[in-house]
Amino acid sequence: MSDDHEHHHIDWREHGVKVIPGNSLDPNTAQTPGMNRATAINNARAGAEKIWAGTVTIHANAKTGAHHHGDLESIIYVVKGKARMRWGEHLEYTAEAGPGDFIYVPPFVPHQEINASRDETLECVLVRSGQEPVVVNLDIEPVEKPEDVPWIDPIHR
């Protein structure tokens, strides 16, 4: 059977594009102290097989515990507020991101999200390369002064 022929038998209404309203996200996902994650796109809600997407809100002046996400890749898009990321064996590296910036977190990188604002909530969209809500919380204290890493992307050099 050719692909063309098979496509005529797919119910695209049921198995096509899905819009997940922002007010219907599911908070029942892995959590880290200091932040609220809510699922928008996953297998159960949208049929996604290789990616997960949702929102994360970090309270004013809050910082998450140190954690990593196993072999998952993560992309964070900052919608509102100012994010400070710390990462490394001792969370010794740091960089900041604001509205419109994307942050990429490779697999197994120990990191900490920090809301760099004392009075504004940090709102982000989060996309992961897998379905498992892997959050490995780590017992890390930063033991040395953070080394400032310039935020470099094709626009900011």
In a domain, 5, yes or no: no
Give residue 37's pLDDT band: very low, low, confident or very high (50, 70, 90): confident
User: The whole model's pTM is what?
Assistant: 0.76
What pLDDT shows up at residue 62?
83
Hey, what amino acid is at 27?
A: P
Domain that holds residue 71: 21-148
3-class SS of residue 56 = strand
CATH number at residue 37: 2.60.120.10
Residue in the block written with tokens 């050719």: 2
Would you tell me how many other CB atoms lie within 10 Å of the CB of residue 113? 26
3-state SS assignment for residue 24 = helix
Residue 81: pLDDT band (50, 70, 90) is very high
138 to each of 32, 39, 66, 87, 109, how far by Cα in Å?
Answer: 11, 23, 5, 12, 11
Domain assignment present for residue 155? The answer is no
| Lookup result for tokens 């097989």 | 49
Q: How many residues does the chain have?
A: 157
37 burial type by CB count under 10 A (0-12 exposed, 13-18 middle, 19+ buried) = buried
In a domain, 3, yes or no: no
pLDDT for residue 23 is more than 90: no
pLDDT surpasses 60 at 85:
yes
Residue 156 pLDDT greater than 60, yes or no = no
Number of domains in the chain: 1
User: What is the residue whose two structure tokens read 């992309």?
Assistant: 75
